[in-house]
Amino acid sequence: MYRQAFRVCRHPSIDDHFDLLHAIANIYALPRDSLVSYVTEGLQTTLGKATLHALIRRRWDYNLNGDKIPI
Q: Kindly list the domain boundaries of the chain, sorted by start residue.
A: 2-68
Whether residue 23 has pLDDT greater than 80? yes
Closest-CA residue to 32 (of 1, 68, 5): 68
pLDDT number for residue 3: 62
Query: CB neighbours (10 Å) of residue 39?
Result: 24
Residues 50-70 have a mean pLDDT of 82
Say whether pTM exceeds 0.75.
Answer: no
